[in-house]
Amino acid sequence: MAEIVVVFHSGYGHTQRIAQQVADGADAQLIAVDADGNLPAGGWETLAAADAIVFGSPTYMGGPSWQFKKFADASSKVWFTQGWKNKLFAGFTNSAAMNGDKGATITYLWQLAMQHGGLWVSLGIMPSNDKAARRDSPNYVGGYAGLLATSPTDAKPEEMAKGDLDTAYAFGQRIAEVARSRSKG
């Protein structure tokens, strides 16, 4: 079985809920980047052993949170020896506005995976974009390169859209499937 790890930062709990859904769908391990941008003990070793790494960060001021970026910068030690080369990578983000530069965060998560010599997995779930689409339809927010969630600025984590959470779970399943198809050789 493929080892999948979701490494994420969450400022207020919304991104954490998405992370949990992706992890549940992928049967993955969760690693939280803390409020100072650091990993828990054993975090780097867990990442080193993974077949697939899923990056998650809120979108703050048009990009990933500084705590996530601190983790990314710290991964330069691994980059130096290309220790994560050929791993699978994927990503997700959450912000308050429908668009709100979420695409910029996903693009950054991809750039990071590319620096590490990885393979990037798309969301693979078509957007719900006709007149019949509702807020809880699959991929209503409309991502392609990663999972995008929208949580109004005054919504608590428990108020997050069911459709976003369900899409996150399905994304986790997809990542696991792609990872399995590679490791069965």
Which residue's structure tokens are 């949170």? 65
Q: Are strands 52-60 and 63-64 parallel, antiparallel or unpaired?
A: antiparallel
By CB under 8 A, the residues from 9 to 28 that bind a copy of itself are none
By CB under 8 A, the residues from 152 to 171 that bind a copy of itself are 152-155, 159
Residue 118 binds to a copy of itself (criterion: CB under 8 A): yes
Nearer to a copy of itself, 17 or 116 (CB): 116
Give the nearest distance from C-beta 40 to a copy of itself in angstroms: 18
* Rounded alpha-carbon distances, angstroms, from residue 75 to 67, 103, 146: 13, 22, 21
Residue 30 binds to a copy of itself (criterion: CB under 8 A): no
Residue 148 binds to a copy of itself (criterion: CB under 8 A): yes
Nearer to a copy of itself, 39 or 123 (CB): 123
Residue 60 binds to a copy of itself (criterion: CB under 8 A): yes
CA-based nearest residue to 52, from 74, 70, 27, 33:
27
Measure the CA–CA gap between 174 and 123, rounded to whole angstroms.
8
